[in-house]
Amino acid sequence: METMNLKDLNEKEVVTSDGHVIGKIDGAIITRHGDVSSLSLMLKNDIVATLRTTPNLRQDISVKDISGITDRVMLNRPLNGLEKYLIKHNPQLDAGRLMGMEVLSGKGKPIGTVDDLMIEHGTWKVPFLRVKVNSEEEEALKLESITLAGKLIDISMGNIRNVGDMVVLNMTADYLNSILEAAPIRKD
């Protein structure tokens, strides 16, 4: 399945089915099961003024209302009546809050920080978080054959125990070491 990262999705223009640019993508809403339920929009001021609802620049729109993503995000809804499909933004489920969050092993060892989220195009699932390993965390991982400082590693959502003020994995740093020894490492 083809994936896209949230960083690349952010700032894409959002276009209605009748060709009106209504704003830009400004994040995603992720359920507790790792599904993207909606994308967050930063609406243009002139668009907000035309809506028959409480004016708010930040709104969400269901992924069911998206017909395609290329250089832009295309909606399958026209501008007229758009307020019926906009959803009040939910900051508690906003994926943006994860960016920069510290990632810990199951035993509390620092691993790195969340750099990005990967989203499966079409299914709207988040298969993994992309984690940036800092030089201090590289020592905690104790990898001899790989230099990790500044590198990005992908952590499967299935390996995440909880997300609170930090992301806590359900694996130890030793187990992560064994995975990393066999997996390709990215430097973006």
Instruction: State the pLDDT at residue 145.
Output: 43
29 vs 148, which has greater pLDDT?
A: 29
Question: Average pLDDT of 8-33?
Answer: 94
Instruction: State the pLDDT at residue 146.
Output: 46
> Considering only CA atoms, which of 70, 18, 72, 10 is closest in space to residue 36?
10
Instruction: State the pLDDT at residue 92.
Output: 84
Q: Helix, strand, or coil here: 101?
A: coil
d(CA 14, CA 108): 40
Phi-psi region of 173 (alpha: psi -120 to 50; beta: other; left: phi over 0): alpha
The string of DSSP letters for 111-136 reads EEEEEEEEEETTT-B--EEEEEPPHH
Instruction: State the pLDDT at residue 105.
Output: 86
Instruction: State the pLDDT at residue 144.
Output: 46
Check for a shared fold between 3-95 and 99-182.
yes
Instruction: State the pLDDT at residue 49.
Output: 85
- Whether residue 17 contacts residue 77, with contact meaning beta carbons closer than 8 Å, is answered with yes
- Whether residue 152 contacts residue 128, with contact meaning beta carbons closer than 8 Å, is answered with no
To 5 degrees, how large is the angle CA 144–CA 174–CA 130? 85
> Considering only CA atoms, which of 67, 118, 60, 120 is closest in space to residue 85?
60
Neighbours of 34 (CB within 10 A): 17
Q: What are the residue ranges spanned by the domains of the chain?
A: 3-95, 99-182
Fold assignment, 99-182: SH3 type barrels. (2.30.30)
Lowest mean pLDDT among 52-56, 110-114, 156-160, 167-171: 52-56
d(CA 153, CA 187): 9
CB < 8 Å & 24+ apart, contacts of 183-186: 183/153, 185/146, 185/148, 185/151, 185/152, 185/153, 186/130, 186/151, 186/152, 186/153, 186/154
3-95 in CATH: which number?
2.30.30.240
1 vs 63, which has greater pLDDT?
A: 63
Instruction: State the pLDDT at residue 167.
Output: 93
Q: What is the pLDDT of residues 116-165, one digit of tens each?
A: 999 998 899 999 899 888 765 555 555 444 445 457 888 888 889 988 89
Q: What is the pLDDT of residues 49-99, one digit of tens each?
A: 888 776 678 999 999 999 999 999 999 999 999 999 999 998 888 998 899
Model confidence band, residue 110 (pLDDT cutoffs 50, 70, 90): confident
Model confidence band, residue 37 (pLDDT cutoffs 50, 70, 90): very high
104 pLDDT higher than 60: yes
d(CA 149, CA 168): 20
